[in-house]
Amino acid sequence: MPTSQQGVEPDGQAPILVADGITVRFGGLMALSNVSLEIGPATIVGLVGPNGAGKSTLLAVLSGLLRANAGHVGLRGEDVTNASAQSRARRGLARTFQQPELFMGLTVRDHLVVAHRARVARHRLWRDMLDPRSLLPPSAAETERIDDLLRILKLTRVAEAPVAALPLGVLRLVEVGRALASDPHVLLLDEPLSGLDMKASENLLSVFKSIVEKGDHHLSLVIVEHDVAAVLAISDTVCVLNFGECIATGSPEEVRSDPAVRAAYLGDSEHIRRSRLDAQLADQSGQAPVGRLST
Ligand SMILES: Nc1ncnc2c1ncn2[C@@H]1O[C@H](COP(=O)(O)OP(=O)(O)O)[C@@H](O)[C@H]1O
Ligand SMILES: [Mg+2]
């Protein structure tokens, strides 16, 4: 398959994406302070933290939408600190936006075909975008690739439906599909579960799991999420941000029992937040939260 992605092929274990000592100031506000993070191949990294902790800012720095005041970003073995968002995209970095940006008259399949072509032939993207009626019939190879994507995203049943008719949970999957059509090495997701009910959230999480597991060790995800339990349930590594600082990084088990994390979330006497956190930390298997504090 032709590839328009640039970059050196790292060895099997080298991190795909690295943030090293990232600091971002907005005027007098320190949004990120010396944050470092490594995303290995075929892993899910969860980024959690209270509102305003700096999660979206970190994604913006990783994707190239925002320049950090200090620190470096590495992507597939190359320093991309000063590279544009477009150039990072060409090197295999993709992201989704919280509000799906879709063409309401196009079907689910059309969206994936257009996104797939954007990668293979840039000039065609513009023709297809400017006049969707000019969508040329997909080739057999294109159809096979799109059918695979539809299957893995559990969208086969709605493939021919115009997206205007579909609920938010399905639109999020179409967004993810569009990002995956560019065959990225790492996909950044900012609050993909927001606005979804429990069933749609569970469906999205199970799709995330399967695209990483079945992605030929080729795809990693970075998920920013408010829902701590969801992140702990599917991530291999979790990073907790608090007031712009990374206060803990590790496996979900390590993070769950980390005193700094519990202190940041719990404060001293906040009963409501404490019980909320305990409820969130209660493992989906029904396991009691680690280190539950007595009152
Ligand atoms: N463009 C901006 N200009 C000024 N302050 C900003 C800007 N973007 C974010 N901030 C501030 O930086 C901090 C971190 O924001 P953000 O990364 O959006 O947090 P999170 O995504 O964890 O909720 C917040 O205090 C926010 O108000
Ligand atoms: Mg945010």
The ligand placed nearest to the CA atom of residue 245 is 1
Domain coordinates in residue numbering, the chain: 1-92+185-257, 103-182
Ligand 1 atom index nearest CA of 241: 22
Q: Is 237 a residue whose pLDDT tops 60?
A: yes
- Judge if the beta carbon of residue 269 lies within 6 A of ligand 1: no
Per-residue pLDDT, averaged over 162-177, amounts to 93
Per-residue pLDDT, averaged over 254-258, amounts to 91
> What pLDDT is stored for residue 269 in this prediction?
38
Rounded to whole angstroms, the Cα distance separating 211 from 93 reads 15
Strand 220-224 versus strand 186-190 pairing type: parallel
Which CATH entry fits the domain spanning 1-92+185-257: 3.40.50.170, 3.30.460.10, 3.20.20.70, 3.40.50.300? 3.40.50.300
> What pLDDT is stored for residue 288 in this prediction?
40
> What pLDDT is stored for residue 261 in this prediction?
86
**What ranges in the chain are assigned the alpha helix state H?**
55-63, 85-90, 108-120, 122-130, 140-152, 168-180, 198-213, 228-234, 252-256, 259-266, 271-281
- Judge if the beta carbon of residue 56 lies within 6 A of ligand 1: yes
> What pLDDT is stored for residue 251 in this prediction?
96
Amino acid identity for residue 207 in this structure: V
Rounded to whole angstroms, the Cα distance separating 200 from 231 reads 15
Order of all β-strands in the sheet with 78-79: 29-39, 17-26, 70-75, 78-79
Q: How many residues does the chain have?
A: 295
Taking CA atoms only, the protein residue closest to ligand 1 atom 24 is 52
Q: Is 233 a residue whose pLDDT tops 70?
A: yes
Which one is predicted more confidently, 267 or 232?
232
| Reported pTM | 0.83
Question: Helix or strand or coil: residue 186?
Answer: strand
At 64-103, the pLDDT tens digits run 999 999 999 999 999 999 999 999 999 999 998 767 778 8
> What pLDDT is stored for residue 97 in this prediction?
77
> What pLDDT is stored for residue 128 in this prediction?
56
User: Rounded mean pLDDT of the chain?
Assistant: 84
Strand 186-190 versus strand 93-96 pairing type: parallel
Q: Is 273 a residue whose pLDDT tops 60?
A: no
Q: Is 133 a residue whose pLDDT tops 70?
A: no
Q: How many CB atoms lie within 10 A of CB 129?
A: 13
> What pLDDT is stored for residue 229 in this prediction?
86
What distance in angstroms lies between residue 195's CA and the mean position of ligand 1's atoms?
20
The ligand placed nearest to the CA atom of residue 24 is 1
Ligand 1 atom index nearest CA of 58: 17
At 6-61, the pLDDT tens digits run 545 555 679 999 999 999 999 999 999 999 999 999 999 999 998 899 999 999 99
Which one is predicted more confidently, 11 or 145?
145
Taking CA atoms only, the protein residue closest to ligand 1 atom 25 is 52
What distance in angstroms lies between residue 57's CA and the mean position of ligand 1's atoms?
6
Q: Is 4 a residue whose pLDDT tops 80?
A: no
